[in-house]
Amino acid sequence: MSRLFHLYRRQAPVPGERQPAPTLAAMVRAGLAAALLAHLPAQAAAVKFQVSGAQGQPLADAVLMLEPQGAHPAVKPLEGIDVAQENRAFLPLVTVVTVGTKVQFPNRDSVRHHVYSFSDARRFELKLYVGKPEKPISFDKAGVVVLGCNIHDQMVGWIVITDTPWYGKSAANGQLSLTDVPAGNYTLRTWHAGLPPGSPGLEQPVVVGPAGQTVAVKLGVR
């Protein structure tokens, strides 16, 4: 017989023989292994979205937020976010930020602007100014903020504040792709400026599988 077989015979349990109880160290190692397995990240996948309007046209600047059903993972504030005023318009028209993000409002026009918001998610006022305000505005509550200018009534813009790390804005073709989304059950919230004022957006359930998928979203926006 080989040496390996002799080792196996010595280590293999004998039927009917009483086995020694596991040591405390062995139980601790087993518990640590189980805890590590429980905290391994779920399989992640890419989820693609196609957003269309009431007549089937692709919708740009739709904000999509995948909100997990259950506890929300913590989000990190974004850095270096600007909402500028250029040619008497807000640029970008729609901005998406995470909770806690501070936003600067530089005025790049040759005329002064008076930027404000009366939205419940964040009320603020930047009185007549040019250049960059001394301090940015912090957005600490999830929701939709409508921007205006007290001098130029035609100026309007939006800031959407989200508390989920899986979010984005649709491109001109109405498409958006989110990567590294853990498999699980989610509520997809879709918001667009063409929805009625004060609307929190369209909600629909989404189940993300390990292979990912494409989700169609249709809004009643013309």
- Residue 34: the pLDDT is 44
pLDDT at 62 over 90: yes
Q: Which residue has the higher pLDDT, 11 or 97?
A: 97
Overall residue count recorded for the chain in this entry = 222
CATH, range 44-218: 2.60.40.420
Nearest to 58 by CA among 202, 203, 199, 176: 176
H/E segment holding residue 31: helix 24-38
pTM metric for this prediction: 0.81
Position 15, amino acid = P
Task: Tell me the pairing of strands 81-82 and 101-104.
Answer: parallel
* Rounded Cα gap, residues 76 and 164, in angstroms: 10
- Residue 27: the pLDDT is 52
Alpha-carbon torsion angle 83, 146, 117, 178, nearest 10 = -50
Least confident of 106-110, 160-164, 195-199: 195-199
The C-alpha angle with vertex 108 and arms to 106 and 112, in degrees rounded to 5, equals: 85
pLDDT at 25 over 80: no
Nearest to 94 by CA among 165, 144, 154: 144
Here the tokens at position 181 are 């989304």
pLDDT at 109 over 50: yes
Nearest to 95 by CA among 73, 117, 113: 117
Helical ranges in 39-183 per DSSP H: none
- Confidence grade of residue 115 (pLDDT, cut at 50, 70, 90): very high
Q: What are the boundaries of each domain within the chain?
A: 44-218
Mean pLDDT of 57-65: 98
User: What mean pLDDT is reported for the chain?
Assistant: 87
Is the distance from CB of 94 to CB of 205 less than 8 angstroms? Answer: no
- Confidence grade of residue 72 (pLDDT, cut at 50, 70, 90): confident
- Residue 39: the pLDDT is 45
- Confidence grade of residue 12 (pLDDT, cut at 50, 70, 90): very low
- Summarised one tens digit per residue, pLDDT across range 138-186 is 999 999 999 999 999 999 999 999 999 999 999 999 999 999 999 999 9
pLDDT at 197 over 80: yes
- Residue 20: the pLDDT is 56
- Residue 43: the pLDDT is 83
pLDDT at 53 over 60: yes
